[in-house]
Amino acid sequence: MSGKTGYPHPLVGAEWLSARLEDPGVKVVDARDAEDFRRGHVKGAVSLPLQRILEDEQPERVAALLGKLGVEDETLVVTYDDRGGTHASRLAWALERAGHFKVAVLEVEFRSWADRGLPVSLKKPLEETKMHSVRENIHIVATGEEIREKAGSPHMVLVDVRSRLDYLDGHLKGAKTMPWKMFAGRGKVLAGREEMERLIDEHFISRDKEIITYSSDGASAALVFYAFRLAGFQKVKLYPGSWKDLMSAGLQVERLKEAHYRDLLGDISLE
């Protein structure tokens, strides 16, 4: 499970997981809405909609939530979603931040898990409360303040994972544009390690850089957070807020001047 970064490998395969559904050391956590969960989920999974975490991400609260779901400090948590892995990643990141280090994202969306005929259940799982300790991990969190301070530093790369159009409309000064969908694999939430390394190399970002990712919702940036980890980066941080939050943090925004790219967007009567 351990990648060359010293972090656990951020992804687990569907086959790998399906063989461990009974393993008491593994807990599958469904990041989708409670309603989706009720309609069917990975057998043995517990529900923790991302939305619930986002209400309040204090490590104490997250640790308590984990405990309630029967997750102990040493349990391997595997998260999944139906949002291209963005919600599962964001959830995984929140757990890491609260000090739950052993966490991974399922390589496929729930849809494709079910399509492959892997075990699915409708039953509400038994939840047995366990104790979970709190060890806040601040090394993976980037704040607006920090982004401002490090702006322009040659050691840090700010990665804007929103769509190209959003980027052109305005982005943080100095940010690189790498829309999150470019990291997806075929039928997988992330491409393989080699492809990821190649993609990042081709954008000329070297391994020694500190990476800060941001997105419009904070979730897709979490997927890219794991993409960089997978490619072997050691210092990767997520700005967990939204683009709106970034704007209210008063950070410097760059725009293209006199660029009429919006006129390339189809029918004007659709505007």
DSSP conformation letters of 207-231: TTSEEEEE-SSSSHHHHHHHHHHHT
- CB contact set of 264 (below 8 Å; sequence gap of 6+): none
Q: At what angle do helices 59-68 and 86-97 cross, to 10 degrees?
A: 110
Which of 52, 164, 193, 235 forms a contact with other proteins (CB under 8 A)? 164
Is residue 206 close enough to count as binding other proteins by CB under 8 A?
no
Contact 75, 25 (CB under 8 A): yes
Residue 224 CB, shortest distance to other proteins, in Å, is: 13
229 is written with which tokens?
């980890």
Is 270 a residue that touches other proteins (CB under 8 A)? yes
In angstroms, give the least distance from the CB of 263 to other proteins.
Answer: 4
CB-based contacts of 256, cutoff 8 Å, min separation 6: 168
Residue whose CB is less far from other proteins, 123 or 186: 186
Q: Which residues pair with 176 in a beta bridge?
A: 159
**Of 9 and 176, which CB lies nearer to other proteins in the complex structure?**
176
Given the complex with other proteins, which of 1 and 165 has the nearer CB atom?
A: 165
Work out whether 269 is an interface residue with other proteins (CB under 8 A).
yes
Q: Does residue 258 touch other proteins according to CB under 8 A? A: yes
Based on the shown chain and the rule CB under 8 A, indicate whether residue 193 belongs to the binding site for other proteins. Answer: no
Binding site for other proteins (CB under 8 A): 163-165, 168, 177, 179, 181-182, 184, 198-199, 202-204, 256, 258-270
